[in-house]
Structure 1
C-alpha cells in the first residue's frame, strides 16, 4: 500500500479541483492519504465551505500548530511516506520554499523532506504569465493577472532538487500510477 502526505495551503484557486481529484484517488485506490493544512489552508477550506467535507472525507487530517507540529517532517524524511504532495500551493509558500524559509508547517516539511529521498510534488497556482480564470467561493468566475515575481519563483521551484512541479490537479493521477477515469 502506498502512503502519501498531502499538504493544503491557503490557495482558493484550484482548491475545489484538487480536492475532487484527491477524494477520487482515495475512493478508487488503497492509497493511504494523510492530510495536513496550513493555518491559511484551514481558513480557505472554511471560506470555500469545504470544512465539513474534509472532516468527512479525511477525518484524521492535521492542522498547523507550528513549523514542526504536528511532526510530519521526520516520517517523510525517513521514507514512511511514498510521496509528499503540496497542492494547491500559494505564491507565498512557493517563494518561501525557493528561498529556503522553513517557518511554517508546510515550508518546514518541504525543506526537511527534500533532504531525504521521498519525492515532492508541488502544484503552484501561479505558473504562467498572463491571466487565469478562477472561481470565487460564491461560484463567480474571476480573472487574475499573474505577477512576474510569482511566475519566476515557480520556475525556480521547478529547478530545485527532489521537487517536481505539477501543472494541474489531474497530474496527481499519473504520479500515483492511477488512471484518470472519473
Structure 2
C-alpha cells in the first residue's frame, strides 16, 4: 500500500506511533508528513532519529514537512489526483481533531484530511484526547536543574553516553533508568508519568470523528495493523 502517515504535535502515544510506523514501513511505501509542532515534539522525545532511520531503510519513503510546504500546501493538493491507498494520522492533537470535525483546513495535516475526503481515500485517526476526565501521559527524559548539583555520578551509569548534566540527549536515551537510580538528589526523571484532565469538548470532538465519511478512529496505534488488514480485505472483495 501507498500510505501517508501524518504526525501532529502530541507527545502522548508518539513513541508507540513511531514504533508502528517503523513496522509498516518494512512492508508499505510511506510518506511521512509533519506539522511544525510535530517537528519540535519529535526532537523533544528523541524520535527524529527514528524517522531518519525509517527514511534511510527504504529510499521510496519520504518526509514532507509543513515548513517546506509554505502556505499553499501543494503536497496536500496533489492527493486528489495522486494514488494513495490510506491516510494515517497518529498521534492527533485536540487542536487538529477540532479542526477536522469543523472542516477547517488551514495547515498541512488538516489539508491532507480534507483532500483525502474529496478523493475518498480512507483515513485512520488516533486522537490523544479520547475520554473526558483524568488521563496519564509520559514526559520525555529530563533533569531538574534546581535539584541537580552536577556531581556527575550519573555519567558513568549511562551505557549510551546520553547524559551530560544538566542535559539528557533525547536521541541516545533508551529509558533504562540507570542514571535516575544513581542520582543522590533525585533530579533525573526518566519516563515520568503525569496526570492531565481531558476536557469534555475535546472528548466530544474525538467522538465526532467517527461520524465523518471514510474516517476510522481507534484508541491506540497498536490497533492500526488490524484496521489495515480489514481495509485490504475489503479492497479485495471489491
Measured against aligned partners, the alpha-carbon deviations of 1:86-143 in whole angstroms (never above 9, x if no partner) come to 1010000000111111110000111111112210111000111222211111121111
Question: Of 123, 129, 134, which aligns to 2:137?
Answer: 134
Cα RMSD, aligned residues only = 1.6
- Structure 1 residues 136 and 25: alpha-carbon distance in aligned structure 2, compared to 1, 3 A threshold: same
Highest CA radius of gyration, 1 or 2? 2
Partners of 2:18 and 2:47 within 8 A in 1? no
**Residues 75-154 of structure 1 mapped to structure 2, 5 A cutoff:** 75=79, 77-78=80-81, 80-138=83-141, 139-154=191-206
- 1:14-33 alignment, distance < 5 Å: 14-27=13-26, 29=27, 31-33=28-30
Report runs of 4+ in structure 1 exceeding 3 Å deviation.
none
Match of 1:35 in 2: 32
Q: For residues 72 and 218 of structure 2, what CA distance do their matches in structure 1 show?
A: 25
3-state SS of 2:203 partner: helix
What SS class does the counterpart of residue 127 from structure 1 fall into?
A: coil
Q: Is the 8 A contact 1:79 1:118 kept in 2?
A: no
Deviations, residues 8-54 of structure 1 (Å, cap 9, x unaligned) = 00000000011111112223x2x111101011111110111111221
Contact 2:73/2:108 (CA < 8 Å) preserved in 1?
A: yes
Between the aligned partners of 1:67 and 1:80, the Cα distance in structure 2 is 23
Shift of 1:70: 4.9
Cα distance in 2 between the residues matched to 1:20 and 1:165: 18
In the alignment, is residue 72 of structure 1 matched against residue 76 of structure 2? yes
What's the TM-score once normalised by structure 2's chain length?
0.69
The whole-number CA distance in structure 1 between the counterparts of 2:55 and 2:210 is: 29
The CA deviation at 1:57 is 1.5
Count, aligned residues: 174
Query: Which range moves more in the overlay, 47-56 or 146-155?
Result: 47-56
* Stretches of structure 2 lacking an aligned partner (at least 5 in a row): 57-61, 142-190, 231-238
> TM-score scaled by structure 1?
0.89
Change (3 A) 1:156 1:141: same
Q: Distance in 2 between matches of 1:161 and 1:68?
A: 25
